[in-house]
Chains A and B, each alone.
Chain A
Amino acid sequence: MQRVSLKVVGAQGQGVNSVGEMCAKGLKRAGYCVFGYREYMSLIRGGHSSYQLDIASNHVRSSETHVDVVVCFNNNGIRTNLHDLKESGILIHQTAQWKFSPEEAELISAKHLKIIELPTIDILRTLNAKPILGNVLITAVVWAILKRKPEELKELVTEQFGHKKDLLTQNFSCIEEGFAFHGNHAANICVILPEPNAQWCKQLLLTGSHAMGLGIVHAGCRLYAGYPMTPSSPLLTYIADLQNETGMTVKQAEDEITAAQMMVGAMHMGTRAITATSGGGFDLMTETLSLAGITETPAVFVLAQRPGPGTGLPTWTAQGDLLLAVHAGHGEFPRLVLAPGNSIDSFDLMPEAFNKAEEFQIPVIVLTDKHLAEALFTQKPYDQKRARLRRGSLVTDPVKLKTLKASDRYDPSATDGISLRWLPGSEAATYCAQGDEHDNEGNSVETAENATEQMRKRMKKMEALAASLPEPDLSGSAHPEILIVSWGSTKGVVEDILGDEVCKGRQIAHLHYAYLWPLKTQRFEALAKTARRVVCVECNHTGQLSMLLKRACGTGPTDQILKADGRPFFYDELKEKLLPFLRP
């Protein structure tokens, strides 16, 4: 598969994101699959940030470490990202009379790099345009390099500024000047894109947070309580921005404990509610998680991972909180942990998260991470016919409500431990949702017999829950020699590698876990028995899924590929690391 990659770099606040987004949208509409990856630092102005687009006419779900084009907003970008260019790559910068160091000059010559110095300030001055229009000018130069038509860009800016005539005229001038500059000064510097494919034009271009937000709204969630923390904040922002249209109640709480408590209170009352945070905030929520365990209140927590411990790397990615999610909260209680792998899962699994929470009356933890939350996906419009509202043993029928006894609420003899649930305000017998160990109607009881009976009742739900979950997703060979195991957001890069030439004709398969706890092991064990190598790929230091598999199966993966540097696995990087296993 032919991939082309483009990286826009600069200080935060200079326009890196807006150029990245404009290019992504234009390319998708022109018939390309685009995968966007952002890197930025935990600050508002300055620092160094990047927006990388990997472009192909086939499905692309990952980023490369080296790119074809680097667009620099400042000279820090020239110094830092010149090294990111592939052989014959193109550097566009805007620093007048920039002098490369001898080492850089050597690199440029050895790799046959091409340099374009764009006199942005001079061009804008001639056009009498504001500095912000530099973004459009630079995008136009990129567009010319990619041999795309100026009309495509004009269409994009018309959508954005069509209602402001003066601004639109200036935008058009910048586009024309960008093309003119390329024609006059760099006409032979270009990148050949693969043939476009019309299937991408009508697809969505959205982040994992957007996908998850849409999934949450689709699931019938009516209340969101959160506290800002990267990388969960984009979800809060998106849901909040939609509130006037969705009518959802959105509460920015005073802390994560409040957010979790509000969610549980609202769920207890009978609506669908959610909260989202990252590791540090989730630590604060764990007592509430445990409460939902004993009161058997449905609850949904989104845990957007970033590298810890402590404040760690706030704006980078990790898969370091799997064991946290599986074990968080004091005491023993049933729970579901799931981790969407991409923009499809991020949407589809949200109605499921709520359904399972209500069917089993348990807390559900949705593990995502910075990579998934902020990566840009090209995504087929979502199929809205799939999701069903499933609320389990919730009693709403007025006739049946009248027949209920308070002791039905925590009836230990209920099938699978799932007793009847009914909502405050229902004309029925009343019960106590009791955080103390309790009898069948929620009265605090401290006898040994009752404690045993209620613990068994709750934990029995775990068996039924496990039985209701699918085995991990298998793609590739049904009888693999090499089995790659991954979970969560590592899915995309592994899928891209599986489609690569190196894997052609080989017995390789990918087993991806989206549902992580209770852990399904049947398919894994069957495949692992016959596979020569079982390689678990995770973005953490200790191999957390490997540990869970080993604990459950006795033997785990034979090999591990791990990293814990705040970055996701890059396409070429992971391919390189997998090569020793892929050779016959």
Chain B
Amino acid sequence: MKKIPLSASGPQMKDFVSSAAPTWCEGCGNYGIWSALKQVLVELKLQPWQVLLCFDVGCHGNMADKLLGYRIHGLHGRVIPLAAGAKLANPGLPVIAVGGDGASFSEGVGHLVHAVRSNYPITLLMHNNANYGLTTGQASALTKKGERMNSSPNGIPEETLNSMDFVFSLKPTFVARAFSGNVPQMVQIMKAAITHRGFAYVDILQACPSYNHFATQEWLEEHCYSVQESKKKYDTSDFDLARKTAVDTSKKIATGILYQAKAVPDFIERLQPRKNRKTTPVEEVAITDISRWMERFI
């Protein structure tokens, strides 16, 4: 008798299940992001061994051992160059960097600037809960001005950084905004981001029930709308429209794929020495004959 194919071929959600139990607070947006990430890997038909997930340090970084896949859990603020270096070594493997707003807009903000201008072919999933959750609720650069936070008993005196205005000022090639409460939309966005030609910036508004009392789950649910689902036609290739739509959050917050420039070559494509190479730097490790360069010193 012919064997009945009861299990679908390709990876499944269970292939990404880790033995480590989640440690996030009840109601934390990380649960949604975690589910969406696993689901998108499955939908992209990636086995756990076919992806490198790089984690920064923060509440999001505690995801590093809560799912399978090749993972590296590095230093606070440094996930972008870590992921970029890995990608340069093996451009064939999808590389996803996961960071928070503390890491990406304070400690490691310089890396974000240069990742955008370099257009490394990696994805940054930026968990935006507008505070430092793991260190128990200090203000980040994205915390609302005047908000009273741990170590800012009088409210924070600094201006709030508009993450979208900042990123758009750098001429990005992919910008999206998601909401941790909308898993199906996150899956769609992440899929587009991971398959994008260059650096994909995904700003994920995330509920933090413990420390963020200004942009709560309910508040975000009320304010977020998807540009892809809105009645007005939205053109993701229109930079000026995208910037305007993304930056203005006074009444509603636009989510979805906000901007994508598909024709811009990524960093590796721009490297002259790597043109027409069939191998990756990982495959090229070998004792190399240096005679031709040595002779020039005679």
Contacts and interface: CB of A to CB of B under 8 A. Distances in A.
Contacts of B280: 271
Contacts of A229: none
Contacts of A424: 49, 52, 70, 86, 90, 93
Interface string A255-279: 1011101111111111111000000
A420 interface: no
A245 B292 contact: yes
Interface in A388-412: 388-389, 391
Interface in A438-452: 438, 442-444
A438 B50 CA distance: 23
A578 interface: no
B75 A288 contact: yes
A567 interface: no
Contacts of A222: 89, 281-282, 284-285
A28 B60 CA distance: 61
Interface stretch (A81-89, A103-111, A167-175, A201-209): A201-209
Interface stretch (A11-19, A49-57, A213-221): A213-221
A265 B54 contact: yes
A544 interface: no
A202, A257, A430: most-surrounded residue (chain B CB, <10 A)? A430
A431 B288 contact: no
Interface in A356-388: 379, 381-382, 384, 387-388
Interface stretch (A2-10, A183-191, A246-254, A458-466): A246-254
Task: Give the interface centre of A268, A425, A436 by most chain B CB atoms within 10 Å.
Answer: A425
A426 interface: yes
B287 A387 contact: yes
Contacts of A381: 294, 298
Contacts of A257: 78, 81
Interface of A: 202-206, 210, 214, 217-220, 222-223, 225, 242-251, 253-255, 257-259, 261-273, 287-288, 291, 295, 351, 379, 381-382, 384, 387-389, 391, 423-436, 438, 442-444
Contacts of A434: 64-65, 71-73
Interface in B272-298: 272-274, 277, 280-282, 284-294, 297-298
Given A351-B287, A433-B72, A214 B82 contact: no
Interface residues of B, number: 59
Interface of B: 18-20, 47-50, 52, 54, 57, 62, 64-65, 68-75, 78, 81-90, 92-93, 110-111, 113-114, 271-274, 277, 280-282, 284-294, 297-298
Given A270-B90, A434-B73, A220 B287 contact: yes
Nearest to A388: B287
Contacts, number: 214
A242 B89 contact: no
B265 to A, nearest CB: 15
B92 to A, nearest CB: 7
Contacts of B73: 432-436, 442, 444
21 contacts: A202-B298, A203-B298, A220-B285, A223-B281, A245-B293, A249-B274, A255-B110, A259-B81, A262-B84, A265-B72, A265-B84, A265-B87, A269-B282, A270-B89, A271-B284, A272-B285, A288-B75, A430-B69, A444-B62, A444-B64, A444-B65
A435 B74 contact: yes
B86 A266 contact: yes
Nearest to A387: B287
Contacts of A428: 49
Given A291-B75, A384-B289, A249 B273 contact: yes
A223 to B, nearest CB: 6
Given A381-B298, A428-B49, 16 more contacts: A204-B297, A205-B297, A217-B290, A222-B285, A223-B88, A247-B274, A250-B273, A255-B110, A261-B81, A265-B88, A269-B282, A271-B281, A382-B290, A384-B291, A389-B287, A436-B73
A388 B57 CA distance: 38
Given A242-B293, A269-B93, A435-B73, A220 B288 contact: yes
A458 B77 CA distance: 25
Given A202-B298, A218-B288, A295 B89 contact: no
Contact of B273 (A246, A268, A288, A295): A246
Contacts of B288: 217-220, 246
A309 to B, nearest CB: 25
Closest 6 CB pairs of A and B: A265-B85, A262-B85, A222-B281, A424-B70, A269-B89, A261-B81
B75 A287 contact: yes
A266 B281 contact: yes
Contact of A210 (B72, B291, B297, B298): B297
A218 B74 contact: no
Contacts of B78: 257, 261, 288
B57 A266 contact: no
Given A202-B298, A218-B287, A444-B20, A425 B57 contact: no
B65 to A, nearest CB: 4
B85 A225 contact: yes
Contact of A271 (B57, B111, B282, B292): B282
B49 A273 contact: no
Nearest to A269: B89
A430 B49 CA distance: 6
B90 A443 contact: no
Contact of A425 (B49, B113, B298): B49
B51 to A, nearest CB: 8
A262 B50 contact: no
Contacts of A219: 287-288
A237 to B, nearest CB: 14
Nearest to A218: B290
A217 B286 CA distance: 9
A210 B49 CA distance: 39
A307 B154 CA distance: 45
Given A223-B85, A269-B90, A432 B293 contact: no
A220 B71 contact: no
B110 to A, nearest CB: 6
A443 B19 contact: yes
B18 to A, nearest CB: 7
A249 B89 CA distance: 9
Contacts of A429: 49
A425 B92 contact: yes
Nearest to B20: A443
A45 to B, nearest CB: 28
A430 B272 contact: no
A386 B295 CA distance: 18
Nearest to A260: B81
A301 to B, nearest CB: 14
